[in-house]
Structure formats: C-alpha cells, structure tokens
Chains A and B, each alone.
Chain A
Amino acid sequence: MANNHLTSESKQLATWYFTFAAILFGAQLLFGLVAAIQYVMPGFLFEIIDFSIARILHINALVVWMVFAMFGSVYWLLPDETGIETVGIKIGKLLFWIFAAAIVVVVLVYLLVQVGPADETTIWFITEGREYIEAPRWADFGIVVVALGFVGNLFLTGMKGKQTGIVTVLMADMIAFSGLYLAGMFFTDNISVDQYWWWWVIHLWVEATWEVFVGAIAAYGLITMLGAHRKTVEMWLWIEVSMLFGSGILGMGHHYFWIGTPEYWWEIGALFSALEPLPLVAMFIHVLYDWGKTQGEQNAQGKDVSVINNKPAFTWFVLNAFGNFLGAGIWGFFHTLPQVNLYTHGTQFTSAHGHLAFFGAYATILIGMMYMGIQGSNGIKVMKNTKASIWAVSLITSGVVGMTVSLTIAGYVQVLVSRAQMGATWAAYFDGQSGMWFTQAMDWRLFMGAVTFAGFLFLIKDFLSTGKDAQHEH
C-alpha cells in the first residue's frame, strides 16, 4: 500500500495495521487448511504440527488480525470524524511495532515449543491453553499496555476534536473491549469459574463490543462511501447500540447452560440471545435503506451515476450486513435454545456458526476498511471493482458458505449419532466421526477451504495492484 497520498499520520498508521492484519489473515487460512486436512488425513503432520497447534494458530491469528484491522479502522476514521490529527500518534506507532513483535514471538513459541510441563512457567511463557486466548501471560500484559495506549489515543483525540456520535460510540465500546480482556487473565483450579470468566472475554467481545464496533464502522462507511446523512445514520447507530447491548450482554446466558452454573441461566440465555439477531436485521435494512435513499435522491436530480465512491469496499460492507445476519443471527439462533443446545453444544454446529459468523460479521467489513485504506493511500476519488476484486469476493464468500454448509451437515451427524443415539461417550464420539455423512462433509469442508484460500490469493493480488489500475477516477 503506497502512502504517498496520505497527509494524516493516523491514516498512515492505519495502513500499517491493515497490512499486518492481511498477513495474519493469510496465516489464519493456512493453518485452517492444515487442520482441515487433518480431519481428512489424520496422519498429516502428526506429532509435528498437531491439530491442537494448527487450531491454536488458526483461531489466534483470526482474533489478532481482526483486532489489528479494528485498531487500523479506528486510526483511519479518527481524522475524518474529529477533524484533527490523532493525539499521541508517535506512541501509537511505537505500540504498533511492540504489538507486531509480540505476536511474532507468541506465534513462534506456539509453533516451536507447543506445550510445556504442568506448572506456572508454561502459563507465563508458552500457552495458557484457554481457547482463543491461549497467549501466554507475559503477552497478556503486553496486550493490555498496547490496548491502553490505543484507547488513550482514541479518548484524547475524541475529547480534543469534534466528538461525533460515531466517535462517542467507539470511545465507550473500545474501553469496554479492552477492559474485558482483564477477565481472561487469571488462573483457577475451578473449571466452572474459569469458563464463567472466560466467556466474559469471548462472548462480550464477539457478541457485544465487536458487534457495536461493526455498527459504528458501517455508519462511517455509509457516510464516506455514499454521502448518507449523518443524522439518520447516527440515529440508526444508537438504535443498534440499544438492541445489541440490550440483547447481547445478558445473551451471555446461552454460554452458562452447562458449565456448572445455575439453571436460571437457561431462561436468561434463551430469550436474550434469541433476540440477538434483531439488531443484525436492523443493520442489514439500514445499509440497504441508506443506499437506496441516497441513490434515489441523486437520480431524482437527474444524475444517473452510482453514489458509491468505493465499489469493492461497499461490496464487502453489503456482504457484512447480510453475512452478519445470516452467520451470527440465523446460524447462532439455530442452537441457542437450551432444549436444542443440550445436544448441539460442543459439536460441529458451533464450528459452522463460528465460521460464518466471524466471516460475515467481521472479516467482511474489515476487508472493506482495507479497501478504503487503498483508496485513500492512492488518492482515488471513485474506486471501481477489478477482475481480481470480483474473483476475491466471489471465491472467499462461496468458500466460507460452502464450509459452513459442510460443517452444519457434519454437526447433524454428531448430534444424531454421537449425542442423541449413543449418549456422548468416547465410543459414541468416534461412531459419529466415522459416519459416511460426516467424513464426506469433512472432504467438502477441505475443498471449500481451498476455494477460500484461492480467493484470498486474488484478494492479495488486488490489494497490491488495484491502486495503480487506470480505470479508477482520480
């Protein structure tokens, strides 16, 4: 990404974050492929890079690339929203390098050391062994420092410059996002207490604070890409915040059905989380509504050109609006009621939901933000889709949807055979895994994973070349 057109240091820093995020996205897909191959050929890299290690890298790279792209998105939009250069940008740049270096060390330790003896040194220096937040404790403290610096920059800039509704939402959201990480930093012998607080990080990130972040980014995108009216967009944003936090915070109950916590969580988890798709419907309607409205206004003036000034980014934003609803909303609702979850909990159903939700809700909009970075870096006024943009979006989307469908079918087999029929034992588990529907689903998942990766290659080609494409309007 060339930076020659960027006068704002904040936007330059954003492009660094986007670049590193794109690299980690590639790592996520590669290790996902390793894990997918292991389902089909269990001997693949056995006792070299075992499934557990491939999966740690797959999901940690996922979380970290998204956090990088989120930080980048905030640094990107701050100068536009507040009207001033980001305060403390030098510290921001230093923290970027610390963060990136720490990630590289953590990844190398995951790959080369993998596991340690059962004592505190392993927890401090190798792995904490808690899904998604395996990062060893020294890295936890590093992450806290980096997050504090980032939140500090955001707050100082928001208070000094113009504090729009979008910036206000981001300020409140990002401090909660960073603070919640602290809930995942302690060790306890009591696994019920362990998982209770672990969900404070995982759930309150992906089903509350990250979703609100997406709402704010979508609002920013509609204003910058379409020229939508700020007042309307921000009203929608506040409605979305009410509905997202209103359902998402107590929706956490759906993780407390079976971990040793009281039965009353069944009710709390069931209805609050059943309402979680509502704001996602609202967000989808909102994006399409604003698009139609601004385009209609322009057509009424007799101008017959598209209002969208960044086609590839807007494509990803629209995909986000629908993918969030489908992946997080529908696929989540599938198994959120306790009567259903009793049998689906801990099966490939969760995995299917995870793939479509992380993609639909987060990957899409963050890729969209990366395209906005490319547009700004190259001083492009109206950015068009190239062949590679279209190949990328088509292949990645069909790949992820294909994986989701495969995993859903695999999940059905597990639920019916391993759980309902056989009662969840070791033998029951492997009877389910050996079923023809399950093994074929895993073959398809691998194929669709490869399709996704091919799409990623097109995406990178496009990132590297589209800035110089002559068809864009300067």
Chain B
Amino acid sequence: MANKSVWSDNRFWQRSAAWVTGFASVLLIWLTFDTSAQISMGNDADLKNGVTKRVPGPTVINYKITYEMDTKRGHEVPVIGGKEKFFGRDDYSEEEAGALLHLGKLGSQAKNCMDCHTLLGNGAYYAPDLTKSWLDPAWGPEGSLQAMTGKNTREEAMAEFLQHPSQYPTHERMMPNLGITAEEAKGLVAFLKHMSSIDTNGFPRNFGKIQGAVHGK
C-alpha cells in the first residue's frame, strides 16, 4: 500500500486540471460550430419558402412580424406573416435590405445604444430593452408613442423619435440627441425590426401582452 494518497498528490491534480480544461474547451468549440450553423442569417429564399430560421434574412423587413405563444415549445416565438409595408415599400431586394440592416447595426454601435439600452437583454439598464421594441404596442396604430410623434406608421414614428429624441420625452429620463440622420434612423429601425424577428427562446416573456395590469383595467 502506498503511504502517499493520490488525493494529496500535486501531479494528479495538475493532470486533472489540464484534462478538464482541455476537454471543456473542446466541447465548447464543438458547440460553437453547432450553434454558429443555427444562428447564421437566413436569406430571401428562406422567407419566401417559409423556412424558419433563428435569425431570418434582412428582407424580413418586407413582412409582418408578430410574437405568439408556441404551445409545443412552451414560450412565445416570433411569427413571420404576410407582406407589410416598411417606409412605403414591401419589395426591398436582398441587397437593399442588407444595406439598411448594415447601416442600422453600425449605427447601433456608433451611437453607443447598448450603454443605456439592452439589446437581446445585454447592455445597460438606464433605458428600455430593445429586443422586441418593434412589436411594442405603444408604437402601433393606437399607441401613445406613435401619437406623440404625429406619424401614421410604426417605422416613421420610431425614425422621427430617433432623430429628435429630446423633443419627445416619455419620462423625466430622456434620450439625448445623438445626431442621428434620417437615413441612419431608417437603418436603425430596420435593425430593430430585424432584431424582433430573432428567435430568442421566449425572451422577453409576455412582451406587450399585458396592458394596464398594475393600475387595473
């Protein structure tokens, strides 16, 4: 019998550390390949053929998006419906929509959006989460935010707000003017509409479903 226990032997723990670290890294890399394939952006053909992608192609801006309970999966998922006009058009080509999304994503970084807002729940907590903001009833036909800007569509109301945020206070805490141009605002709204179509496994729960719950209906 050995007098020394393996449990207090440095070499045993050193080798275990190397094994555990190495193998966990290999698993992570394998999972990354699997996940990367699932979250790569879809394209126009997928949308036309009704292929569900976790991250749809940019031309999703030509379609109506809703957020509905999926009983099989047990949470809400974005549902892409029929055509819907976006700034007066529903025939953006793959290139046009891609360019708008590109502009909007760049804009979201150039204006430091996620240092006040959260995107997909990540960022700062000083302003509302933007994951499904495109679907917020407040920007819809009956919504207070749309009415505030005096515009007739979701996209125009959001773009107007983004260009002149401090003209439209919604709270004592206001969004500052970030010098967003009309074109940039259009890109940002396309980016927000696209983000709302991403399958986020039901986050945020019950988005826009409950109104006036606190103060009673």
Which residues of A are in contact with B by a Cβ distance under 8 Å? 35, 38-39, 42, 46-47, 50-53, 55-56, 114-120, 122-123, 126-131, 134, 165, 187-196, 198, 231, 234-235, 238-239, 241-242, 245-246, 249-250, 252, 255-263, 265-266, 268, 342-343, 345-348, 350-351, 414, 417, 419-431, 433-434
The verdict on B153 contacting chain A, using a C-beta distance below 8 Å, is no
A115 touches B20 (CB 8 A): no
Within 8 A of A (CB), among B157-207: 166, 170-174, 176-179, 181, 184, 187-188, 191, 195, 198-207
The verdict on B94 contacting chain A, using a C-beta distance below 8 Å, is no
Select which of A129, A250, A350 is within 8 A of B24 by beta carbon.
A250
Select which of B10, B125, B133, B172 is within 8 A of A238 by beta carbon.
B10
If A42-B172, A120-B106, A246-B21 touch, whether A417 touches B214 (CB-CB below 8 Å) is yes
Select which of A51, A131, A414 is within 8 A of B122 by beta carbon.
A131
Q: Which residues from chain B contact A56 at a C-beta distance below 8 Å?
A: 112, 115
The CA of A348 and the CA of B126, in the complex, are separated in Å by 9
Interface string of B96-109 (1 = CB under 8 A from A): 00100111111111
Q: Which residues from chain A contact B136 at a C-beta distance below 8 Å?
A: 425-426
If A127-B112, A424-B129 touch, whether A342 touches B205 (CB-CB below 8 Å) is yes
Q: Which residues from chain B contact A245 at a C-beta distance below 8 Å?
A: 17, 20-21, 24
Shortest CB-to-CB span from B48 to chain A, Å, is 20
If A118-B110, A129-B110 touch, whether A261 touches B38 (CB-CB below 8 Å) is yes
If A245-B20, A348-B125 touch, whether A115 touches B114 (CB-CB below 8 Å) is no
Q: Which residues from chain B contact A42 at a C-beta distance below 8 Å?
A: 171-174
A239 touches B13 (CB 8 A): yes
The CA of A357 and the CA of B36, in the complex, are separated in Å by 30
B115 touches A129 (CB 8 A): yes
Q: Which residues from chain A contact B145 at a C-beta distance below 8 Å?
A: 426
The verdict on B118 contacting chain A, using a C-beta distance below 8 Å, is yes
Interface pairs (30), CB distance under 8 Å: A46-B174, A52-B115, A52-B116, A55-B116, A56-B115, A117-B181, A118-B106, A118-B188, A127-B109, A129-B114, A130-B109, A131-B123, A189-B41, A191-B195, A192-B120, A194-B105, A196-B35, A196-B36, A238-B16, A241-B17, A245-B24, A258-B120, A258-B200, A258-B201, A261-B38, A261-B201, A263-B73, A423-B207, A425-B207, A431-B214
The verdict on B8 contacting chain A, using a C-beta distance below 8 Å, is yes
Question: From B171, which residue of chain A is reached at the shortest CB distance?
Answer: A430
